[in-house]
A = this chain, B = another copy of it.
Amino acid sequence: MIEQVDIKQEQIIEVALKRFSHFGVSKTTMNEIADDLSFSKALLYYYFPDKTTLVLKVIEHIFYDFINKQNSILAGQTSLKLALSSLIDLKIEFGKKYFMLHMNDGQTDHYLTDARFRSLLDKTKEEELNILFKLFSRFKSLGLIKDIDCKDTAQIFIDVLTGLWVFEVHINLKTLIPTEEQFLSIKTKYEKLITIFYDGIIAR
């Protein structure tokens, strides 16, 4: 029975994730999700008593996926430059895929003000910081990077990437959804930035 519940929940999350990613949260109704699954509304609400709870579950799903992928990208990396560049690819991939959810930028969508979302976001940011801190610490202990404060450096790295993203997407581009070329131009800026950043922390 537990298993049955889990399977149904998974199905709902999967379908909701598809709709949210494509149309955004506010343009998706619980009715549409129930229809996609051929569920009754009652059945859908049995699993998720309200839309916010479902949204949070979907966001949690994306965050776990993001953190897991970061961890597996960095596990056993022997090149810091490659590690940073893979992180950037991952960030762009997630930023594009879940652009309509505006998770990173505190924009419009109502659910973003929910306290549970804030706490989930804070936990994810902490996790991300920790992953990067461990990466820098490992290369520092190998004598490959300078005698820097690894926590500070990790924080700055994350902040400038996020800042650049927010700036490009919401101020420079100001489109509803950026085009492929626009995402590519952000990626190019990211790459130039990490080249300088890498050269700035590597030991000589």
A interface residues (Cβ-Cβ under 8 A, vs B): 105-106, 146, 152-153, 156, 159-160, 162-168, 170-171, 174, 189, 192-193, 195-201, 204
Contact = CB atoms under 8 A, between A and B. Distances in A.
Contacts of A195: 200
Contacts of A162: 163, 167
A114 B121 CA distance: 36
A164 B174 contact: no
B171 A166 contact: yes
22 contacts: A106-B170, A106-B171, A153-B192, A153-B196, A156-B189, A156-B193, A159-B167, A159-B168, A159-B189, A160-B193, A162-B163, A163-B164, A163-B166, A163-B167, A163-B168, A166-B166, A166-B171, A195-B200, A196-B200, A199-B200, A200-B200, A200-B201
B197 A106 contact: no
A167 B105 CA distance: 8
A1 to B, nearest CB: 43
Most chain B CB inside 10 Å of its own CB: which residue of A153, A174, A193 = A193
A196 B193 contact: no
A167 B166 contact: yes
Contact of A164 (B159, B189, B192, B201): B159
